[in-house]
Structure 1
Amino acid sequence: MHPTIETLLRKDEKLRQEAANSAFQFSWKQPKFDTPFERRLLLLNGLFLGFAKVGGNGWVRGHDARELAIYMGDASVSFELDAPSQSRTRRHLAPNEDRTLCLCLSTAHSAPPGISFSWRDEEGRTLEQQLTEIIIGMAVAGEHLHRKWLEQQAAWRRKQKEEAELEAQRRKADEDRRERERIAALEKAKRDALHRDAKAWREAADIRAYVEAVRRAADAPDLIESWANWALLEADKLDPSRPAAP
């Protein structure tokens, strides 16, 4: 018996003994696999043992063993094994078919042509009789799903790389733009300073020329000399070509 199924049965036996020794009966503490329909455990046991022979492994989770998966190397396949009316992908089947079993991969809705993703009891051909076919089919489906997952991962990595490259280009463009703007601002500041200096130089020259003209026109040059000296000092302050006064 496969260890996973053996563990389930041990838990079930413990529940059975606890229920037998208890004065109170709780539905949630009853054995889960006593009904004849739980031939599903026998089928799971055969399925898990079959995969174990080729290096695979079975996985079960849930108090009633409804969450199922097979692992084969890097590939994994989740599946359901239940009455068709209880299977999420077979709710449309009639109630009189509830005694049958259906094994359906969780991704059966996306099954590609030529790859089986579901099997069920058929007239004269039970799932147990299809076990070898199911194992091969699940292995093929698992490989297909794994390749599809790898393709999706590769596509995701390509997209991430493209987005990273676009982001790097955007950052580079922003840096280049900011550098151009910085250089342009420096050039503008230099031009503005040049224009201010040229204007100040012309004003200083105009003041000196004006002082000289006033001196020549004055009847008493000595009387305006104080004013002339002050005006020339102001011109020197304006003149950017003159060294600044200490």
Structure 2
Amino acid sequence: MYTNILISKQNSITTITINRPSKLNALNKETIEELHEAFKASDNDTSTTVIILTGSGEKAFVAGADISEFANFSVDQGGQLAAKGQQLLFDFIANLSTPVIAAINGFALGGGLELAMAAHFRIASTNAKMGLPEVSLGVIPGYGGTQRLPQLVGKGRAMEMIMTAGMIDADQALSYGLVNHVVNQAALLPLAEKLASKIINNSSIAIGSAIKAINAGYEDGVNGYLTEITEFGNCFGTEDFKEGTTAFLEKRKADFPGK
């Protein structure tokens, strides 16, 4: 079904693996389109409650975009490339109601780091290296990097990372708050699955509402507090709320229907 990605599913966890090892899993147009389709299908699959995103092999999560595809683009084509990519994949993932964990298993550079930052949170292996080297090519990050990196690490650190085009290692990424956990390579996917299993215990409807409310706080012209109020109120009309509160009062574990 897919040329550049692999899909596996265990229990209610779907793992999407970018599989272009000879290109260090670089993002080309076809891979971006396949990822969009895979995320869309997983989000629409009611039996999937968490998505893990990773790269194949032990060298790279995604080593960047496929520069050969756009080296000769005009100003208009460059703008369209960024606009389409953001809409089709990066913003699409960020606003997905199904939680997405990025398991960074190696290099996450340029579009690769932007892809990881679009996920709802990130974990990394000890050998991971992260950076946005675009200015060394005479361009800037175009898939949300100039916006998401400052949100995650602060303006000053983002300015330094982008202007120097340098890489940071996993421990530095952890201290910056760019990733939540660092473990050795063998423990990376098991940790992602462990975190996913904790998420699965909770209401998928409430989690979708939380994602919407959190994201609203980073949107221009949107009052995140008002979104929170609306989403909080909406939760009261769900079967999950009825089950969660009933289970609490009955001192038993909730069995959320996801409705």
Q: Same fold (TM over 0.5)?
A: no
TM normalised by structure 2 equals: 0.23
What TM-score comes out, normalization by structure 1 length?
0.24
Larger helix share, 1 or 2: 1
**Which structure features the higher share of strand residues?**
2
Which structure has more relative contact order (CA 8 Å, sep 6+)? It is 2
Bigger radius of gyration: 1
